[in-house]
Chain A
Amino acid sequence: MSDLSCSSLSFPDMVDSIVSLSGRAAHFIRVRSSIPRCFFLLGFALANGVTAAEPPITSLVFDPAGNSILAGSQSSVMVHEWPSLRIKRTVSSSLVLIQSLAFSPDGQKLAVAGGTPAETGVVEIRSWPTGDLLAVHEGHEDTVQSVAWIDDKTFVTGGLDHEIGIWNVGLQKPIRRLRGHSKGVTGIQVIAGGSLIVSGALDQNIRVWKVETGELIRTLNNHTRAVNELKTQPPGQGKNSGVRRLPIVASVSNDRTVRLWQPTIGRLVRFCRIDAVPLALTWGPEGEWLAVACDDGNVRGINPDTMEVAVKVSVSDAWLYAIATHPTDGSLAVGSRQQRLQRLTEDELVNK
């Protein structure tokens, strides 16, 4: 095991490469909610002098073709043209909060996950690209924070009710509930050809489960604060791809660390500590870099082989809740609490 703390390393190039994108009008857009307001609300807003504020962007996913970026927020999914970020359309949802978006492996279905805080966790399955509602799955007692597909018909959810659910599209009840986390589940990944689930939670633990039986295989407990998100390294196609035999999952936590794991053998591969709280992460198209969205409004680019922070890019003054990598060109979409959707090129991130 090689543990490298990046906080002690110096990166003379990093300072030069910090790029503030806040002034680049072409690269960001303030998303306007399309929620219709009734006349009463208009009167109320007038009486109070302001309209309601815009909700944050809480999840991002590229469509399978890479032509659009979908931004989840409260009550709707905004579809933006990529790379212009122009709004193409809005997919309205019955969910009070949308916390996670995921396309099925065949790209035909979109899972929209969230719910009503402290009441219900819901997943809407919509056809893509039409956006038509195919099914609604209710079964969690608090919002679903993360959703991932096992195959084109089966998906898995992690909720703040501490539970993990495995669902078949169209079936009202989960086919299996996985219980073990003592606090809300915030991250779900499916690995090993759909045979294992990796879950991260507010209880600081990462757990590995068998899909087929629901058996808890192991608990990875190196994080010392809540786990915010997990992401699986994509299969590489470069010169080193041949040696990647075991799947690697990255986790980010309130303990200000980014950790790489091999969940199938329970190994913490390496980690680094950063000077902000990482909230979300994404891998480069071939797993050659990691981008971490943080609570200080910066995106940090990390070399997964050394766990060095190669670059820090200032994106916003607000917390960055969501980040996603374009499937082919490696550019990034970043979503913040201020409902700003921004584009970051791979060059800006990896400081080529």
Chain B
Amino acid sequence: MFIWWMLFVAVLPVESNADVDFDHDVMPVLTKAGCNTGACHGAAIGRGGLKLSLYGSDPVADYRAIALELKGRRVNLLEPEQSLVLMKPTEAMEHGGGFRLDPESEAAARLRQWIQAGAERHNLELRPKFSRLEVSPSSVVIRHPDQRLNLKAIAHFSDGSVRNVTRQTVFIAEDPVAVEIDSKTAEVRVLRGGRHVVIARYLSQVKPVEIILPFRGSSVKVSTDEQKQVFDQKHFIDRAVNDLLATLGIPISGDAGDDVFLRRVTLNLTGRLPDAEMRQAFLADDESKRRIDLVDRLLNSDEFTEYWTLQLAKLLRIHAQPGNEIGTQRYHEWLQRQIAENVGYDVIAKKILTAKGDTHQVGPANFYRTVSGAREQAEFTSELFMGTRLRCANCHDHPLDQWTQDDYHGLASVFAKIRSGQNVEASDNGQVIHPKTGKNARPRIPGVKFVDASDQPLTTFANWLVADQNPYFARAIVNRLWKSMMGRGLVEPADDLRATNPATHPKLLKKLADDFVEHGFDLRHTLRLIAASSAYARSSDSISGNESDVRYYSHRIGQLMEPEVLADAISDVLGISEPYGDKPLGTRAVMLVNPQTESATLDALGRCARKDSCEVPVSLTGTGGLTLKLHLFNGPILNQRIAGGNGRLSRLIAEGKTNEAIVEEYYRVALSRPVTEIEQRFWSQQLKETNGERRSLLEDFVWSLLTCKEFVTNH
């Protein structure tokens, strides 16, 4: 009987162990079990003596670590079951990472088979290579929360063969509270309405899956105010925004009204509050075109140039290096000229990247004095001009993007040939060591190709970057322009564009970028385009059904004013100038060249020192943090200056204005709108019924106005 059983077993059709390959079979097991995550053996220094590449980006190194190092102690070829690589994750022996692998699972069996076959790594030159991952569906709308969705992952190989790798693929929900995924079956259940992203990872590739569950399953209800909107309803921005809102079933708030629009667009384009004259002229204009005329006036103003010089100076991190104040001044002046002359952003970028010479004379050459070191220059440049975080690829291939260590060190190698003292010049000596090879890295256009040193790598890179077809350059800047105007980037964070961090409105981002390129990389054009959309003019007041929306532009997202803008606004409302270092009194904060200029007010408001990125996380664009509030409520920024002698309040009292007139003027100046009857009644009551001194009461009123959300935000 036993012999018959043995014969039966011997002729069973089984997968040959020799077919089990480290790269294609073992690596997915390790990734699926979480062995190579940053919290485990994928950490920079490994864990428990075992160091694996993050998410399996380096199979060669991982094979060495698992099968070869320390005389192969982690695999037991005589008794595979006794191998550390099996016993640890199955917790057959103590494991700091806990239970990661069911010993009865297919994954454990695969690992066991690999060891039984000799724990080899196949020569991939002789075998089909993994070429791409396909996940289906890539985008789907689910109609009901009870609806289940089965994801499927297919691996494509170089010989045309495909393999269903669903069970070896790791699926991670961006928001695990909203999306539940069965790791064994890849079945997805969406628990909360909205647009969700699931990241699928197999071997070195990651793919996003977009899943939408409408909030209410209903279509968009366009408000009456919206219908009255004077702007073109066929605007492509509105089509994209409204289509997604319709899919999500989120209702749209109405138009903000002329006063709010005036304040909003003036702040966005010039960093200032509109004054009474502007308001008068605006309201006197033809209703059908008063908004677009206003936008055009602002775009052509000196104030626009000043404010958008500041915006780009923050992006470029222009700050005074010790002993290079002159250079910083030249850099700032040069930038201001580019904005004033409406030079294309592509030309600005190329001038910056290829600048050479004395930094005290050649403004853009100071770009190469902003950060020190070729690697830092590569990181800075990729974040600035490509909106991507190449820095992750310094130590390992980027776990969530295409960037490899070759890309990172290759781009660093491009910049290594720049010598950056007071004179910025090309040098033959600079090199960057590639940590993988220990040899000089080859100059490389990231994600594209290596460049020979004789082919002027820096010029080649600059030309590639600003080319019309470049997939990063235009998107990175239009996303930032959008964020500046709308309060939230289509991609957040704005310097983290990648396939696994998709835009909320991918087609809109592409269309904006294409349009930007078509119009000569014209910053003003894109800002005008956004300002002309209904989405931009939307009220910040939520309505029933869109209260929780902070991503899809169903209502305006309020932005806390930038420190420089808020400081200037406070000065304007109080009528008292703020001193900035040794600058003449009356200097506006937005015009300061050096972010280190002495100012306790700007420090308290949280200005960016521009030594690192000044990208503001979207979570802080609303009302600021507790520190800022405490400074405003209790600190000297407002309290000392409100009580100051020569400001607006003193003048109004001296002119014999009534309380009502004073309230009326402050509302117009601070909030850019008339005071309502209810508000006027409230303040009249407050100022009359309290028994305090009149001035003190009015100071309290001004304090109340300047600390309210309506003032400190662009809403």
Interface residues of A (CB under 8 A from B): 33, 35, 43, 46-50, 52-56, 58, 74-75, 96-97, 99, 117-119, 143, 145, 160, 183-184, 186, 202, 256, 295, 319, 321, 337
Q: Note all chain A residues with C-beta closer than 8 A to B68.
A: 295, 319, 337
Known A53-B119, A54-B77; 7 more pairs at CB < 8 Å: A46-B6, A56-B71, A74-B77, A96-B82, A97-B71, A183-B49, A202-B49
Q: Which of B6, B9, B78 contacts A52 (CB 8 A)?
A: B78
Nearest-CB residue, chain A, relative to B117: A50
Nearest-CB residue, chain A, relative to B68: A319
Nearest-CB residue, chain B, relative to A96: B82
Q: Which of B10, B17, B76, B117 contacts A46 (CB 8 A)?
A: B10
Is there a chain A Cβ closer than 8 Å to B44's Cβ? no
Is there a chain A Cβ closer than 8 Å to B70's Cβ? yes
Q: Which of A46, A97, A202, A337 contacts B9 (CB 8 A)?
A: A46
Count chain B residues whose beta carbon lies closer than 8 angstroms to a beta carbon of A: 34
Is there a chain A Cβ closer than 8 Å to B93's Cβ? yes
Nearest-CB residue, chain B, relative to A183: B49
Nearest-CB residue, chain B, relative to A254: B69
Closest-CB distance, A27 to chain B (whole angstroms): 23
Interchain Cβ contacts under 8 Å between A and B, 24 examples:
A35-B78, A47-B9, A47-B10, A47-B14, A48-B14, A48-B113, A49-B14, A50-B18, A52-B79, A53-B77, A53-B115, A54-B77, A56-B77, A58-B71, A75-B78, A96-B76, A117-B74, A118-B87, A118-B94, A184-B70, A186-B70, A295-B68, A337-B68, A337-B72
Q: Note all chain B residues with C-beta closer than 8 A to A55.
A: 72, 76-78
Which chain B residues in 110-138 approach chain A with CB under 8 Å?
Answer: 113, 115-119
Which chain B residues in 161-212 approach chain A with CB under 8 Å?
Answer: none
Q: Note all chain B residues with C-beta closer than 8 A to A184.
A: 49, 70
Assess the B77–A52 pair: CB atoms within 8 A.
yes
Q: Which of A52, A56, A202 contacts B72 (CB 8 A)?
A: A56
Q: How far is the CA of A319 from the CA of B9 in the complex (A)?
A: 36
In the complex, per-residue mask of B72-108: 1 if CB is within 8 Å of any chain A CB, else 0: 1110111110101001100001100000000000000
A118-B93 contact, Cβ under 8 Å, with A47-B14, A184-B49, A337-B68: yes
Q: How far is the CA of A47 from the CA of B112 in the complex (A)?
A: 13
Assess the A43–B84 pair: CB atoms within 8 A.
no
Q: How far is the CA of A58 from the CA of B75 in the complex (A)?
A: 13
Q: Note all chain A residues with C-beta closer than 8 A to B16.
A: 49-50
Q: Note all chain A residues with C-beta closer than 8 A to B94.
A: 118
Q: How far is the CA of A202 from the CA of B77 in the complex (A)?
A: 24
Is there a chain A Cβ closer than 8 Å to B692's Cβ? no
A256-B438 contact, Cβ under 8 Å, with A35-B78, A46-B10, A74-B78: yes
**For chains A and B in complex, what number of residue pairs have CB atoms within 8 angstroms?**
83
Q: Note all chain B residues with C-beta closer than 8 A to A43.
A: 6, 9
Q: How far is the CA of A202 from the CA of B71 in the complex (A)?
A: 13
Q: Which of B9, B49, B70, B76 contacts A74 (CB 8 A)?
A: B76
Closest-CB distance, A38 to chain B (whole angstroms): 12
Is there a chain A Cβ closer than 8 Å to B626's Cβ? no
Q: How far is the CA of A143 from the CA of B70 in the complex (A)?
A: 10
Q: Note all chain B residues with C-beta closer than 8 A to A186.
A: 70
Assess the B49–A33 pair: CB atoms within 8 A.
no
Assess the B71–A321 pair: CB atoms within 8 A.
yes
Q: Note all chain A residues with C-beta closer than 8 A to B18.
A: 50
Nearest-CB residue, chain A, relative to B9: A47
Is there a chain A Cβ closer than 8 Å to B281's Cβ? no
Q: How far is the CA of A184 from the CA of B49 in the complex (A)?
A: 9
Closest-CB distance, B657 to chain A (whole angstroms): 76
Q: Note all chain B residues with C-beta closer than 8 A to A50.
A: 16-18, 116-117
Nearest-CB residue, chain B, relative to A275: B438
Q: Which of A33, A48, A319 contacts B116 (CB 8 A)?
A: A48
Is there a chain A Cβ closer than 8 Å to B12's Cβ? yes
Q: Note all chain B residues with C-beta closer than 8 A to A58.
A: 71-72
Assess the B93–A119 pair: CB atoms within 8 A.
yes
Closest-CB distance, A40 to chain B (whole angstroms): 11
Q: How far is the CA of A25 from the CA of B400 in the complex (A)?
A: 50
User: What 3 A-B pairs are tightest by C-beta distance, nearest first?
Assistant: A53-B118, A58-B71, A53-B77
Assess the B73–A143 pair: CB atoms within 8 A.
yes
Closest-CB distance, B619 to chain A (whole angstroms): 40
Q: Note all chain A residues with C-beta closer than 8 A to B14.
A: 47-49
Closest-CB distance, B580 to chain A (whole angstroms): 49
Q: How far is the CA of A50 from the CA of B82 in the complex (A)?
A: 18
Nearest-CB residue, chain B, relative to A37: B78
Q: How far is the CA of A186 from the CA of B71 in the complex (A)?
A: 11
Assess the A118–B117 pair: CB atoms within 8 A.
no
Closest-CB distance, B576 to chain A (whole angstroms): 60
Q: How far is the CA of A58 from the CA of B71 in the complex (A)?
A: 6
Closest-CB distance, B669 to chain A (whole angstroms): 65
Q: How far is the CA of A118 from the CA of B48 in the complex (A)?
A: 10
Q: Note all chain B residues with C-beta closer than 8 A to A49.
A: 14, 16-17
Assess the A160–B117 pair: CB atoms within 8 A.
no
Closest-CB distance, B107 to chain A (whole angstroms): 16
Q: Note all chain A residues with C-beta closer than 8 A to B70.
A: 145, 160, 184, 186
Q: Note all chain B residues with C-beta closer than 8 A to A52.
A: 77-80, 116
Assess the A99–B71 pair: CB atoms within 8 A.
yes
Q: How far is the CA of A184 from the CA of B72 in the complex (A)?
A: 15
Nearest-CB residue, chain A, relative to B17: A50
Q: How far is the CA of A45 from the CA of B9 in the complex (A)?
A: 10
Q: Note all chain B residues with C-beta closer than 8 A to A119.
A: 93
Closest-CB distance, B103 to chain A (whole angstroms): 15
Q: Note all chain A residues with C-beta closer than 8 A to B84.
A: 117-118
Closest-CB distance, B72 to chain A (whole angstroms): 5
Assess the B76–A48 pair: CB atoms within 8 A.
no
Closest-CB distance, A131 to chain B (whole angstroms): 20
Closest-CB distance, A113 to chain B (whole angstroms): 12
A48-B17 contact, Cβ under 8 Å, with A53-B77, A118-B88: yes
Q: Note all chain A residues with C-beta closer than 8 A to B117.
A: 50, 53
Which of B68, B73, B79 has most A Cβ within 10 Å? B73
Q: How far is the CA of A44 from the CA of B83 in the complex (A)?
A: 17
Assess the B73–A117 pair: CB atoms within 8 A.
yes
Q: How far is the CA of A227 from the CA of B74 in the complex (A)?
A: 19
Q: Note all chain A residues with C-beta closer than 8 A to B77.
A: 52-56, 74
Q: Note all chain B residues with C-beta closer than 8 A to A35.
A: 78
Assess the B78–A33 pair: CB atoms within 8 A.
yes
Nearest-CB residue, chain A, relative to B8: A47
Closest-CB distance, A288 to chain B (whole angstroms): 28
Nearest-CB residue, chain A, relative to B10: A46
Q: How far is the CA of A145 from the CA of B71 in the complex (A)?
A: 9
Closest-CB distance, A335 to chain B (whole angstroms): 10
Closest-CB distance, B218 to chain A (whole angstroms): 58
Nearest-CB residue, chain A, relative to B15: A49
Closest-CB distance, B81 to chain A (whole angstroms): 10
Q: How far is the CA of A49 from the CA of B113 in the complex (A)?
A: 10
Q: Note all chain A residues with C-beta closer than 8 A to B119.
A: 53
Q: Note all chain A residues with C-beta closer than 8 A to B116.
A: 48, 50, 52-53
Q: Note all chain A residues with C-beta closer than 8 A to B79.
A: 52, 96
A47-B12 contact, Cβ under 8 Å, with A33-B78, A52-B78, A55-B77: yes
Q: Note all chain A residues with C-beta closer than 8 A to B78.
A: 33, 35, 52, 55, 74-75
In the complex, per-residue mask of B1-23: 1 if CB is within 8 Å of any chain A CB, else 0: 00000100110101011100000
Nearest-CB residue, chain B, relative to A319: B68
Q: How far is the CA of A48 from the CA of B18 in the complex (A)?
A: 10
Q: How far is the CA of A124 from the CA of B93 in the complex (A)?
A: 24
Closest-CB distance, A7 to chain B (whole angstroms): 10
Q: Note all chain A residues with C-beta closer than 8 A to B115.
A: 53
Assess the B10–A97 pair: CB atoms within 8 A.
no
Nearest-CB residue, chain A, relative to B119: A53
Q: Note all chain A residues with C-beta closer than 8 A to B10.
A: 46-47
Which chain B residues in 21-79 approach chain A with CB under 8 Å?
Answer: 49, 64, 68, 70-74, 76-79
Which chain B residues in 606-643 approach chain A with CB under 8 Å?
Answer: none
Q: Note all chain B residues with C-beta closer than 8 A to A117.
A: 73-74, 84
Q: Note all chain B residues with C-beta closer than 8 A to A118.
A: 84, 87-88, 93-94
Nearest-CB residue, chain B, relative to A100: B71
